[in-house]
């Protein structure tokens, strides 16, 4: 297993997951609700920064690797899933939103793995729509973790609205990827039906 600075940053993102969750299970005497929210927000934003940094450094330092390419999206999806589950537990987002986003990530990850296995991974390469969806949820999640008004903005209300936008973009992007993969899926299904 290779180990370099980009991969180290990716591992830090994975380590941040239990830290984010633990913040909300510490004894009440240790942290106020506002302090918990701030700590969780800082942890999530720091993790999001490492997501950008590890990709940038891997390219800049010529330290890209197959293991890093595998681990990076896994770390991203685990971090987002953990944050969404925490937000559902706290009553700050709807379970349906978490289910849509997590379900989409599982579906598209499985689709990409299958498409790579049959040599058609370019059909489901990351699109601009997927990047916009990711940006929306990566902004909405810290807003909902922080929750308190900031600079006159109701973070709970704004974050909730943006999370619904992220959920709609999630469904749209899933439809896009499935549509791109459909010709290959149909072709393979036809071969199976014909007994090849």
Instruction: Pick 187 or 146 by higher pLDDT.
Output: 146
Tokens of 181: 């993969």
Q: In this model, does residue 18 exceed pLDDT 70? A: yes
How many Å apart are CA 123 and CA 115, to the nearest integer? Answer: 8
Q: In this model, does residue 196 exceed pLDDT 80? A: no
pLDDT band at 159, cuts 50/70/90? very high
**Which among 37, 34, 41 has a CA at the least distance from the CA of 16?**
41
For 115-152, write each residue's pLDDT tens digit: 777 776 666 667 788 788 889 999 999 999 999 988 88
How many Å apart are CA 39 and CA 68, to the nearest integer? Answer: 28
How many Å apart are CA 133 and CA 193, to the nearest integer? Answer: 36
pLDDT given at position 61: 82
For 91-124, write each residue's pLDDT tens digit: 999 999 999 999 998 988 888 887 777 776 666 6
Q: Mean pLDDT over residues 18-32, rounded?
A: 92
Q: Mean pLDDT over residues 61-75, rounded?
A: 83
Burial 115-154 (b: 16+ CB within 10 A, else e): beeeebeebbeeeebbeebbebbbbbbbbbbbbeeeeeee
* CA quadruple 159, 43, 80, 99: dihedral, nearest 10: -60
First to last CA, the chain: 38
pTM equals 0.86
- The one-character DSSP state at 194 is T
Radius of gyration of the chain (CA): 19
């Amino acid at each position: 297993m290779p180990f370099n600075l980009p991969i180290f940053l990716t591992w830090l993102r994975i380590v941040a997951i239990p830290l984010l969750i633990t913040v909300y299970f510490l004894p009440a005497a240790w942290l106020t609700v506002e302090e918990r929210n701030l700590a969780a927000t800082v942890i999530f934003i720091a993790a999001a920064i490492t997501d950008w940094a590890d990709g940038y450094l891997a390219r800049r330092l010529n330290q890209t690797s197959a293991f890093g390419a595998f681990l990076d999206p896994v770390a991203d999806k685990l971090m987002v899933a953990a944050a969404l589950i925490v937000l559902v537990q706290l009553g700050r987002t709807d379970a349906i939103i978490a289910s849509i986003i997590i379900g989409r990530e599982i579906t598209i990850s499985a689709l990409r793995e299958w498409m790579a296995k049959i040599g058609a991974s370019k059909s489901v390469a990351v699109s601009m729509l997927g990047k916009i969806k990711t940006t929306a949820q990566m902004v909405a999640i810290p807003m909902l973790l922080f929750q308190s008004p900031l600079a006159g903005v109701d973070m709970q209300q704004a974050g909730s609205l943006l999370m619904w936008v992220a959920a709609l973009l999630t469904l749209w992007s899933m439809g896009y990827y499935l549509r791109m993969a459909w010709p290959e899926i149909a072709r393979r299904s036809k071969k199976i039906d014909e007994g090849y």
